[in-house]
Amino acid sequence: MAKQKKRVGKKRTFTNKRKIILILSNLIIFGILTLIFYILYAVLNAELFQNLFGILSIISGFISIAFLMVLLIFLFSRLFKRIKS
């Protein structure tokens, strides 16, 4: 019997520039979604839609804040690496 070779998948490595682009794009997307949901919350008068868009605005706002914190942590860690070396 012949031995079967196992295929080892290549791990994806992200460069620092690509990580920043990915974080920024997600931050911009969720920031825009937050604004859209907040505008719809303010404009619509139906109680169901106000509650729905209010909750969606809060959730997407928290997600955009999380992406902002990740971006700041990433940038500060890069800054401290440059200062240290």
Closest CA to 72 of 24, 7, 8: 24
| Count of residues in the chain | 85
pLDDT in tens, the chain (85 residues): 666 666 666 666 678 889 999 999 999 999 999 999 999 999 999 999 999 999 999 999 999 999 999 999 999 998 988 888 7
Both structure tokens of 56 = 């969606």
Amino acid making up residue 9: G
The CA-CA-CA angle for residues 10, 12, 16, to 5°, reads 150
CA of residue 55 relative to chain centroid, distance: 18
